[in-house]
Amino acid sequence: MTLTFYWYPQCGTCKKAKKWLEDQHVSYEAIHIVENPPTKEELLTLIENSGLEPKKFFNTSGKKYRELGMKDKVKDATLEQMVTWLSSDGMLIKRPIVTDGNKVTVGFKEATFADIWK
C-alpha cells in the first residue's frame, strides 16, 4: 500500500511525519501541498473519509490564515466555501495530510500514525 502524503518541506511537523513513515518503512508518494494543493473534489473526499469537521483542515496557526481573517470567515462558511478556499492556497491547509484512499489523518501525532499507518 502506497500512501499519499501531502506535505510542505519547510514544515517541522511534516518532517517529523516523513521521518516516522520512513522509519516504519511505509511507502508513500509525497505531494508538495503548496505547489500542488488538493482539488476541491479531492478535499471533499479527504474530509468525508477523515470523519473530521471541515474546519479541522485549516492551518489555524498559519500566517496566511491570520492575514486573510479566516477565523471569522470559517465560522459561518459552507462546505463549498471551505473547500474553495483550501484548494486555492495550500498554505491554508493543515498538514501533513496522509491518506490511503480510505483512511485520512490530518497533522502528525505519533500514536495516531502508529494506529492507522503501521
For 21, counting Cβ atoms within 10 Å of its Cβ (0-12 exposed, 13-18 middle, 19+ buried), the class is: buried
Cβ atoms of residues 18 and 7 within 8 Å: yes
Domains and CATH numbers, the chain: 3-117 (3.40.30.10)
Q: What is the pLDDT of residues 80-106, one digit of tens each?
A: 999 999 999 999 999 999 999 999 999
Q: Where are the alpha helices (DSSP H) in 1-118?
A: 12-23, 40-50, 63-67, 70-75, 79-88, 110-117
Scanning the structure block, which residue is given the C-alpha cell 492556497? 89
Q: What is the pLDDT of residues 45-74, one digit of tens each?
A: 999 999 999 999 999 999 999 999 999 999
Give the total residue count for the chain: 118
* pLDDT > 80? residue 37: yes
Task: Give me the chain's average pLDDT, please.
Answer: 97
Please state, as a whole number, how many other Cβ atoms lie within 10 Å of the Cβ of residue 57: 25
What pLDDT does 35 receive? 97
Which of 5, 1, 2, 13 shows the shortest CA–CA distance to 104? 5
Q: What is the pLDDT of residue 79?
A: 98
Q: Is the pLDDT of residue 27 over 80?
A: yes
User: What is the value of pTM for the model shown?
Assistant: 0.95
